[in-house]
């Protein structure tokens, strides 16, 4: 998926050069505090993880999740239900998403901070995310070396945005031989939070135990000691699953499928939050 991005970026660059995108990014309203919103929600709810609700039409593992997909309606429902932040899938080829969904959600007046959920391999995509109204971007440790992560986190900060850096237990996808969470400890994590994806990329199998295992590992404990916010991602369906993420040490959760499949997404958010 990440490899295909290089092809896509070349096509984008042919129609919109970086200089033009940078102008658009400069004109965008200032980015909102994504990490702060999650921490504030968790604090207000006695330590229950803050919710990032994902606007997701389809996925490689599950196919079409939401046949009557209306990104703005879903985003408004998530916000009404009490999500702290939203994640918007922008990848078109594998998730049937789009950058235009980010812009439409922002234009509709949704105030929750927005994460651009994209396979980012170049700074060009970060400028594009900002130009379309994103406040934070996803960076996936499995497909980026540490120098790439340093460069892309700096580019993100230069635009006033924040990063969610995702790690997995999926050893086959590691750029280096050391656990991804361990690699992250060498980075300047200013303006960053971490995410643990519970989905194994090779098999698509999901286990919430992955978050618990990584957080219990030596690098996981170090991350907690440093007070970094960690989100448990994927495979979260019930309030009990949210509590399991909390017990693992996650201060946030990122949830897509279980919410987007519901008719009333605002109620789905409330139920997930235990209201
Ligand atoms: O969702 C997939 O099938 C998928 C497959 C391969 C790589 C990434 C994938 N998903 C990206 C995500 O991180 C999830 O959309 C996100 O964590 C929400 O997961 P879920 O609540 O299980 O929809």
Ligand 1-lining residues (CB < 6 angstroms): 54, 56, 59-62, 197, 199, 201, 204, 233-236, 254-258
- Spatial contact of 130 and 41, defined as CB atoms under 8 Å apart: no
- Spatial contact of 263 and 65, defined as CB atoms under 8 Å apart: no
Active site (annotated) includes residue 117: yes
pLDDT for position 171: 54
Mean pLDDT of 158-165: 98
pLDDT for position 19: 96
Question: For residues 29 and 169, which has the higher predicted lDDT (pLDDT)?
Answer: 29
Alpha carbon of 152 to ligand 1 centroid (Å) = 22
Catalytic residue among 233, 244, 257, 258: 233
**With the CA atoms of 60, 66, 72 and 74 taken in that order, what torsion angle do they form, in degrees rounded to the nearest 10?**
-110
Alpha carbon of 196 to ligand 1 centroid (Å) = 11
Active site (annotated) includes residue 233: yes
Task: Name 55's bridge partners.
Answer: 88
Active site (annotated) includes residue 73: no
Whether the pLDDT of residue 259 is over 90: the answer is yes
- Measured from the Cα of 233, ligand 1's closest atom is 17
Mean pLDDT of 153-161: 98
Candidate of 51, 97, 256 to mutate for ligand 1, largest count of ligand atoms within 8 Å of Cβ = 256
24-29: long-range contacts at Cβ-Cβ below 8 A with a sequence spacing of 24 or more? 24/131, 25/127, 25/130, 25/131, 25/159, 28/130, 28/131, 28/133, 29/133
CATH of 2-272, one of 3.30.413.10, 3.40.640.10, 3.90.110.10, 3.20.20.70: 3.20.20.70
- Compute the distance between CA of residue 89 and CA of residue 34 in angstroms, rounded to an integer: 16
Whole-structure pTM value: 0.96
pLDDT for position 240: 98
Hey, CA dihedral for 242, 245, 251, 256, is it positive or negative?
negative
Whether the pLDDT of residue 81 is over 90: the answer is yes
Give the ipTM of the model, two decimals please: 0.97
Candidate of 56, 57, 59, 244 to mutate for ligand 1, largest count of ligand atoms within 8 Å of Cβ = 59
Mean pLDDT of 259-267: 97
pLDDT for position 173: 46
pLDDT for position 3: 80
Write the residue with the smallest CA distance to atom 17 of ligand 1: 234
Active site (annotated) includes residue 145: no
Catalytic residue among 79, 166, 180, 244: 166
Share of the chain above pLDDT 90, in %: 89
Mean pLDDT of 215-227: 93
List C-alpha distances in Å: 192 to 30, 42, 161, 222. 17, 17, 9, 15
Mean pLDDT, the chain, rounded, equals 94
Active site (annotated) includes residue 275: no
Whether the pLDDT of residue 175 is over 50: the answer is no
Catalytic residue among 5, 54, 59, 198: 54
Whether the pLDDT of residue 53 is over 60: the answer is yes
Domain ranges for the chain:
2-272
Alpha carbon of 158 to ligand 1 centroid (Å) = 28
pLDDT band at residue 174 under the 50/70/90 scheme: very low
Active site (annotated) includes residue 56: yes
Q: pLDDT per residue over 7-48, tens digit each?
A: 999 999 999 999 999 999 999 999 999 999 999 999 999 999
pLDDT for position 271: 98
Share of the chain above pLDDT 70, in %: 97
pLDDT band at residue 125 under the 50/70/90 scheme: very high
Q: pLDDT per residue over 93-108, tens digit each?
A: 999 999 999 999 999 9
Catalytic residue among 42, 87, 101, 197: 197
pLDDT for position 177: 53
């Amino acid at each position: 998926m990440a490899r295909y991005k290089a092809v896509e970026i070349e096509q984008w660059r042919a129609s919109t050069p970086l200089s033009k995108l940078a102008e658009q990014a400069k004109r965008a309203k200032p980015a909102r505090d994504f990490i702060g919103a999650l921490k504030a929600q968790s604090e207000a709810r006695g330590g229950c993880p803050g919710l990032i609700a994902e606007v997701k039409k389809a996925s490689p593992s599950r196919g079409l999740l939401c046949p009557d997909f209306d990104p703005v309606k879903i985003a408004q429902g998530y916000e009404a239900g009490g999500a702290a932040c939203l994640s918007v899938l922008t990848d078109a080829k594998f998730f049937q998403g789009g950058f235009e969904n980010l812009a439409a959600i922002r234009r509709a007046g949704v105030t929750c901070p927005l994460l651009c959920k994209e396979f980012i391999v170049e700074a060009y995509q970060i400028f594009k995310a900002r130009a379309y109204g994103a406040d934070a971007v996803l960076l996936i440790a499995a497909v980026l070396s540490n120098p790439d992560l340093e460069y892309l986190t700096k580019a993100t900060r230069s635009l006033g945005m924040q990063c969610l850096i995702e790690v997995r237990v999926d050893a086959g996808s590691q750029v280096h031989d050391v656990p991804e969470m361990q690699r992250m400890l060498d980075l300047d994590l200013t303006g960053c939070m971490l995410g643990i994806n519970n989905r194994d990329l090779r098999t698509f199998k999901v286990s919430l135990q992955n978050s618990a295992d990584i957080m219990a590992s030596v690098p996981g404990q170090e991350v907690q000691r440093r007070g970094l916010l960690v989100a448990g991602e994927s495979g979260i369906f019930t309030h009990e699953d949210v509590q399991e993420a909390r017990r693992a040490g996650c201060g946030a959760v990122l949830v897509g499928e279980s919410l987007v499949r519901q008719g009333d997404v605002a109620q789905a958010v409330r139920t997930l939050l235990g209201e």
